[in-house]
Copies of this chain bind each other. A is one copy, B any other.
Amino acid sequence: MSSPTKFVLDESKIPRHWYNIAADLPKPPPAVLHPGTMQPVGPDDLAPLFPMELIMQEVSTEREIPIPEPVREVFRLWRPSPLIRAHRLEKALGTPAKIYYKYEGVSPAGSHKPNTAVPQAWYNAQAGIRKLSTETGAGQWGSSLAFAGSLFGIDVTVFQVRVSYDQKPYRRALMETYGARCIPSPSNETNAGRAILAKSPDHPGSLGIAISEAVEVAATNDDTKYALGSVLNHVLTHQTIIGQEAMLQLEMAGDDPDVIVGCTGGGSNFAGIAFPFIGAQLRGGKKRRIVAVEPAACPSLTRGKYAYDFGDTAHMTPLVKMHTLGSTFTPPGFHAGGLRYHGMAPMVSHLLALDLIEARAYHQKTVFEAGVQFARAEGIVPAPEANHAVKGAIDEALRCKAEGKSRTILFNLCGHGHFDMSAYQAYFSGKLVDQDYDEAELAMALSGLPSVPA
């Protein structure tokens, strides 16, 4: 173990631009459609929800989008995040593979989400916005936007999926510490929420429903905009600083990854670590295996249909082509709340359709087993979402062992699990069981996909 463990960069090395993969694609992703007209939406259609700077990023095909200095200024608090060589995990696995992880848990909210929360809050503040509404699953996004809002004087209202609101009370306390308001969803505060509660008063909630509520608040209040923590192009683009930093750090390590692993819910942390490497490949660089890992209980990439669908349950969003389980699909209440989304980022879906990435799904017990093995070897307790990436990386390392081959594996440890210890308690007490979605519900949700003219 005389080789270095941790690769750190000075704050001057925080990237000065975000990488936009749209510039390097062999073909552009399918258009986003207005559900009324079935015509591509334009920037003006999105203006009620987002400030124009973010809309322009959403549709940009420029390779480099400059990161404003005040945003980099905030990033300095925790970025560049460390890249760590998992020496002890390698030893515990007896693998010839080299395993590196990029650790995003050092941010104030404990995950990668502030990477986009800070610029989103800043662009809104620049546009004179003083109120933002959003949704959150596990609470990582909600607490990150709450943090960012506190820095730029923006009031943040968060609709949190009820099952996570109940499982993780400390995340709500964190949002409140940053000054935000947190509401369990479905709620009585919106038409979308009331309609669902009327039919199902004990509804556990879903990201799709919480998005409907947050969008409704923004769409019906002139002084409020909406912010989304994943899925959209500009959000994925904001996360690319993860992969850009990892490239510099792997250079320091004198290494180059063969396999890159990330977990996927909406797709943003996966995009963050993977897109800069995929872009390099598209521009003629090394071909790498890029593996997206998702929960078997909400398997949009591995079991969903690649089709046009709504991003939310109440059908307030435009139609996007993505891998989807159907916008009315409600996944079981498993512990990786940040991965409980019926769809997948259109850009990630497009890359899967282009065979530039691969996908696999795991049940939750096996990912917690991997997380505990990681914690006991490396010390860091991963978030339940991140445990999916840990499991994916461990399986790749074990494959190297079986094949007697050394490969370099990079994965994104997108957050720590300090707010998720109730899930570990459930795991140790045997109460955390594998959950499956309801096949009939999936069939029904897929049968309800909107029909879009070819």
Contacts and interface: CB of A to CB of B under 8 A. Distances in A.
A73 interface: yes
A422 B172 CA distance: 10
Given A11-B5, A422-B170, A77 B84 contact: yes
Copies of this chain, count: 2
Interface in A73-108: 73-74, 76-78, 84, 88, 106, 108
Nearest to A10: B8
Interface string A1-45: 100111011110000000000000000000000000000000000
A114 B176 CA distance: 29
Interface stretch (A124-132, A319-327, A372-380): A372-380
A444 to B, nearest CB: 37
A372 B419 CA distance: 18
A333 B133 CA distance: 38
Contact of A379 (B1, B11, B147, B421): B147
A376 to B, nearest CB: 4
A177 interface: yes
Nearest to A108: B379
A190 to B, nearest CB: 24
A184 interface: no
Contact of A176 (B147, B419, B422, B424): B424
A45 B369 CA distance: 43
Given A11-B5, A151-B88, A170 B421 contact: yes
B4 A11 contact: yes
A375 B84 contact: no
B4 A177 contact: no
Contacts of A433: none
A341 to B, nearest CB: 24
A173 interface: yes
Contacts of A11: 4-6, 8
B375 A177 contact: yes
A178 interface: yes
A381 interface: yes
A150 B173 CA distance: 31
- Among A1, A84, A379, A380, max chain B CB count under 10 A is at A379
A422 B8 contact: no
Interface string A399-432: 0000000000000000010110110110010000
A179 interface: yes
A110 interface: yes
Given A77-B5, A147-B379, A424-B173, A110 B372 contact: no
B372 A1 contact: no
A106 B379 CA distance: 12
A173 B88 contact: no
A422 B10 contact: no
Interface string A101-122: 0000010111000100000000
A326 B8 CA distance: 46
A370 to B, nearest CB: 13
Contact of A418 (B9, B151, B174, B428): B174
Of A74, A376, A421, most buried by chain B (CB within 10 Å of CB) is A421
A77 B110 contact: no
A6 B76 contact: yes
Contact of A106 (B88, B106, B170, B176): B106
A84 B88 CA distance: 29
17 contacts: A5-B76, A5-B77, A8-B10, A108-B379, A150-B375, A150-B376, A170-B170, A170-B419, A171-B421, A173-B421, A173-B424, A174-B418, A174-B424, A176-B424, A177-B375, A177-B381, A178-B375
Interface of A: 1, 4-6, 8-11, 73-74, 76-78, 84, 88, 106, 108-110, 114, 147, 150-151, 169-171, 173-174, 176-179, 372, 375-381, 416, 418-419, 421-422, 424-425, 428
Given A109-B379, A173-B428, A174-B418, 8 more contacts: A6-B78, A147-B379, A170-B425, A176-B424, A177-B372, A177-B424, A178-B375, A418-B418
